[in-house]
Chains A and B, each alone.
Chain A
């Protein structure tokens, strides 16, 4: 039986629509994957140096023992958003002559393929083979790595249980995030130190290898815990996600209806965003877009490169705009025939889309104002970037939306999801970020900072003044391409 499962799994993987897309996209994705893996591997090789650099008066293994618990907490949280339950995939097997326990084993087995389970090999194996082996014995380093890996597996199997619980009641996710926040806070204020517990455990482990049984037992415990849970709950009504939690927020926005057809369309689209998994995850990404600046602003290295600041500024003030606007019409691909044939004027439709790009961007801008802390220079760059986003990038997205002809399946999350993504998406994002930087940089080099900021902002203001004509331009482009777009959106899979 397991042989069949693996065979099906393999077929599912190689017949996945991802591979049937064009080679260029696969190469781009593959390229980013390789880069990411190399980053992790490099981090693994220099982990000891890095740790001793951060905490100067302690050995690397002590520091790592303290913070590794946070690594586990963090990856657990990441798993939450990225790792999917293979629940739906077992539905076709339920009515066949297969024991439920076999199915349950298979589900768990399948979860092992998750990328997270391989991270320890990149990040911690070099550390174990290098630093740990030199400082301790080969055996100890082996035990150390084994325990890290087993903890990762515990996290993997624990997730299966918790994720199931949490899909039944999504509000628990907030509870989890709150709990992790609390743990960090308690540690920070020295009330209760989870990192000391972590340190204590690994000290014990180094002294006595028998402590390996702790993560071993926890892994086995969760495997069997899940087995019984899956066997008891493998019914169609448990497996398919709960229907209609009822989403009330959009009902409160009824005042939008006073704005005629455009308002009605905007309201409809807000419902779209809030009620579909894929679009919701874009909303969840907003905080990350906003915090993106924190990576760069504290470092002087980047602060001097003005072109780079613009790049960051466009992204920080326009993260939502870019992430959402890329698929401007594709969001509605499943009912695009309705949009075309019902009494919605194309112009109204585009106007609604424009508002959906502009209003959230304006609101989100206020959250970027505190970046002033890193200098007024950043404030002014961001201010100009805001105008550029509103005046130039938003209409540009309206225009380029007509080049996106891939149907999107909204029921799946956005992370690592390339369904509905084409090479076009990558090509189209580049000018949004790069062009403003390319405009800004030479002007700031030759004429100084202030003229460069004024130019960038000025372009945005011009775009805002002429927004009606720009929208019309996008509409005309759409009218030429609408049959191809509609045809593309009808193609499922």
Chain B
């Protein structure tokens, strides 16, 4: 689904990301962990063609994402508030995202109903603009808009941070359902080792731009990761 070849990114001569090769297969749930500055967001931005790599390519369905727009048809993403149109109400934002992804009015409505659980009554019908929502609620809007388009690839940067415990729990459940029922390919980064090992079947650890671990999640994974980060 996604193939990375010789991808590097440097800022001012300092390499912040260097991935010689990486393949993510269809339906895989790919967890990315690493300390601040490890290159997680940089990697996601490169996949989404938001920044230019110094070398290498990211292929999505065998087409380089840089310069093409094909991948946009099947990729849902939420990295940060830069993905929200903050002067819209959440409803309007969903409408907008739905319409540009050619969802019907009914599909959009159905989506909003299906997310009521996650929204916990705080998102819809409040007539608040997104900029006036709390950080956590903004994140809910962004994540659910990324999911609503029924993407084949879903890219989320630290989806669990600043969410309340109940929502974290519900989001984990939702992500697992998407994996099982729709075989969505997921790329998720997180600082929370618990969450990420629970949701993802494959964990990659980045350290200063390099992949230092690439493991299948097993029952000892969490311990391994904790041991790794404890000595960092």
Contacts and interface: CB of A to CB of B under 8 A. Distances in A.
Interface string A479-493: 100010011001000
Contact of A276 (B48, B80, B87): B87
Interface string A243-265: 11010000000000100010011
A243 B87 contact: no
A341 B48 contact: yes
Contacts of B92: 271
B227 interface: no
B19 interface: no
Contacts of A246: 127
Residue picked from B49, B67, B79, B85, most chain A C-beta under 10 Å: B85
Contact of B132 (A244, A334, A483): A244
Residue picked from A268, A340, A341, most chain B C-beta under 10 Å: A341
Interface of A: 243-244, 246, 257, 261, 264-265, 268, 271-272, 275-276, 332, 334-338, 340-346, 410, 479, 483, 486-487, 490
A486 B51 contact: yes
Nearest to B69: A345
| Top 5 closest pairs, chain A to chain B, by CB | A275-B87, A337-B82, A483-B52, A338-B83, A341-B48
B86 interface: yes
Interface in B47-88: 48-52, 67, 69, 72-73, 75, 77, 79-88
Contact of A268 (B52, B85, B127): B85
Interface stretch (B94-102, B174-182, B186-194): B94-102
A171 B83 CA distance: 32
A243 B128 contact: yes
Given A243-B128, A246-B127, A340 B96 contact: no
A334 B69 contact: no
Contacts, number: 82
B51 A271 contact: no
Nearest to A479: B67
Interface residues of B, number: 34
Given A338-B85, A341-B72, A410-B87, A264 B99 contact: yes
Residue picked from A332, A335, A490, most chain B C-beta under 10 Å: A335
Contact of A346 (B50, B69, B79): B69
B115 to A, nearest CB: 18
A23 B82 CA distance: 30
A341 B50 contact: yes
Contacts of B72: 341-344
B84 A483 contact: no
Given A261-B100, A335-B85, A343-B73, A243 B132 contact: yes
Given A243-B132, A276-B87, A483-B51, A343 B100 contact: yes
A272 B49 contact: no
Given A244-B89, A341-B77, A341-B83, 20 more contacts: A261-B99, A264-B99, A268-B88, A268-B96, A271-B87, A272-B85, A276-B87, A335-B84, A340-B49, A341-B48, A341-B49, A341-B50, A342-B83, A342-B97, A343-B72, A343-B73, A343-B100, A343-B101, A410-B87, A479-B67
